[in-house]
Structure 1
Amino acid sequence: MKKLLLISFVTVFAVTFTNAQSKMGASVQGGVFLPTGDFGDAAGTGFGATGTFIYELSPMLQLTGSIGYARWGSKENLPSGWEWSFSAIPVQVGLRYSFGKGNFLPYVAAETGLSFLSSKVTVEYFGQTFTSDNSESKFGLAPGAGFLYKFNPKTALDVTLKYNMIFTEGSSTTYLGINAGVAFAL
């Protein structure tokens, strides 16, 4: 199911790229991910990257599709021999609305999609090592805001602040992503 979703996502954007080269763009960003809520009680600051494909529907409205990777470690020092990590691969689609004209273009955005979650706990106890791996896919939402600062007609600085909500049974995993990178026209 995960592979089918990813293949579908890539196919849709590949077809769109070939049909509308002049309206396409992409952004590659590095990010810092700050866990919030209950997730923030256990996880430390995360790091990762996001790639976004952009299709211009009108001069101010864009369709977006993104895929990213974020990884967190534990917030506190664990006892010797203990390790904990959590990662997310969000695959999302959404809309972005840009304001203004000129070189500085602020925007608001909203995306939705699946997040592929993975956690790993390793415990060493009396010379024995025990490992538990867990993987699952969950639905999520991500409202955000940011800006583009154009260096030239084809290249811009892209800075985004995105609040990610991943809905799990009985609660949600939330984190604030601060991303910066380069956007370019295709």
Structure 2
Amino acid sequence: MLKTLYTAGLFIAATCMFGNTAKAQLKGFSIGPYVEAGTPVGDFKDTHNTGFGGGLNADIKLIAGFGVTGSAGFMYFPGKSYTYLSGGGTELTAKAESLKALPVRVGLKYKFGFPLLYVKAEGGTATFVGGDGDNYKGTAAIFAPGLGIRFLGLDVEAKYEVWFKNDNRGFFGLKAGYNF
């Protein structure tokens, strides 16, 4: 939790720094809520169902189509029942623990050619909350490339996001938000 707050503080400090030192380059600032859904892939899909979450997103427009972006929120992936083989070859059934996390992401955004379309790459941390098992405690690193469209204040993005900790947890996501 402390790392999440620290990362969010760094994002806010960077926002203030860009806002005060680069006023000539700054084209605008927007902030707003978002919701997202994520479909697990790989081994993660064997143990968890489609997740959902929400949070707050911010964008700082710079020059030549570039921008800085960041978000902080909550993500939940419900666990599902799965089967596995025991050491003796017996098939057993278990239910995976639900995964709850507080992802904080910062990154770069680039609007190219067609002004509504953009590409984005973000990194950050996902702090697991409420978990009992070792896999659901601590903090994971995040990498999330995406492609989106923004029309007026509506922002819709398709992305792939992976969380790096003991084992990787990846998902395809769809994120929709409104920026003021």
**Normalized per residue, which structure has more strand?**
1
Is the Cα–Cα contact under 8 Å of residues 11 and 106 in structure 2 kept in the other structure? no
Helix, strand or coil at the partner of 1:84: coil
What is the RMSD of the two structures over their aligned residues, measured on CA atoms? 2.6
Return the letter of the residue paired with 1:120.
G
Aligned equivalent of 2:146, options 135, 144, 147? 144
Other-structure match for 2:175: 179
Q: Which residue number corresponds to residue 168 of structure 1?
A: 165
Distance 1:165 1:74 in 2: 18
Deviation digits for residues 30-65 of structure 1, max 9, x if unmatched? 111111111111011111113221111114111111
CA distance in 1, matches of 2:80, 2:69: 32
Percent identical pairs in the alignment equals 30
- Count of aligned pairs: 163
Mapping for residues 115-154 of structure 1, pairs under 5 Å? 115-118=126-129, 120=131, 134-150=136-152
* Residue segments in structure 1 that go unaligned for 5+ positions in a row: 122-131, 151-155
Whether the aligned pair in 2 keeps the contact of 1:57 and 1:63 (CA below 8 Å) is yes
Superposed displacement of residue 18, structure 1: 6.0
CA-CA distance at 1:23 after TM superposition: 1.7
CA contact (8 A) 2:103 2:125 kept: yes
Matched, 1:68 2:73: yes
- Partners of 1:84 and 1:119 within 8 A in 2: no
Superposition pairs of residues 85-104 of structure 1, within 5 angstroms:
85-100=98-113
* Letter aligned with residue 74 of structure 1: G
- Counterpart contact for 2:155–2:176, Cα < 8 Å: yes
Contact 2:142 2:163 in 1 (8 A): yes
Conservation of the 8 A alpha-carbon contact between 1:166 and 1:174 = yes
Counterparts of 1:120 and 1:37 in 2: how far apart (Å)? Answer: 21
- The runs of 5 or more residues in structure 2 that have no matched partner are 83-94
8 Å contact from structure 2 (residues 34, 55) kept in 1? yes
State the TM-score, normalized to the length of structure 1: 0.75
